[in-house]
């Protein structure tokens, strides 16, 4: 089974029904693949929901989504080794970036382990 990396933009698109990538984000996050995100997603999604959207309930739901990913083992901690190699990740043999096959229209590349 593949693992997909979902950054904060994917999590936010799932929450925001007006986002052009909302449907694709919903499909990706409700699929059978293992989902991963960075620990900084807690801050990123809460910050956007609370400060930009002025929606504390959305911030709470988004934190719950990140919590669910963490409980499933999908929270990747940003550490010195990861941050030092972040520019080399797309070229790493174990990681390839692709567009999810079920997404309509343009979608930012997603990384598959």
76-107 pLDDT, tens per residue? 887 766 556 555 544 444 444 444 444 444 44
Cα–Cα distance measured from residue 3 to residue 72, given in angstroms and rounded to the nearest whole number: 12
9: containing domain: 3-112
13-71 pLDDT, tens per residue? 999 999 999 999 999 888 888 899 999 999 999 999 999 999 999 999 999 999 999 99
Question: Structural domain tally of the chain?
Answer: 1
The CATH number given to whatever domain includes residue 79 is: 3.40.50
Does the pLDDT at position 8 exceed 90? Answer: yes
The backbone region for 38, taken as left when phi is positive above 0, alpha when psi lies in -120 to 50, beta otherwise, is beta
pLDDT of residue 47: 92
């Amino acid at each position: 089974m593949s693992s997909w990396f979902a950054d904060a933009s994917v999590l936010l698109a799932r929450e925001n029904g007006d986002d052009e990538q909302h449907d694709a984000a919903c499909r990706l996050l409700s699929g059978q693949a293992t989902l991963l995100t960075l620990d900084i997603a807690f801050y990123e999604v809460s910050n956007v929901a609370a400060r930009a959207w002025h929606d504390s309930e959305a911030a709470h739901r988004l934190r719950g989504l990140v919590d669910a990913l963490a409980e499933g083992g999908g929270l990747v901690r940003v550490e010195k080794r990861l941050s030092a190699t972040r520019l080399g990740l797309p070229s790493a043999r174990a990681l390839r970036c692709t567009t999810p096959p079920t997404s309509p229209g343009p979608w930012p590349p997603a990384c598959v382990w």
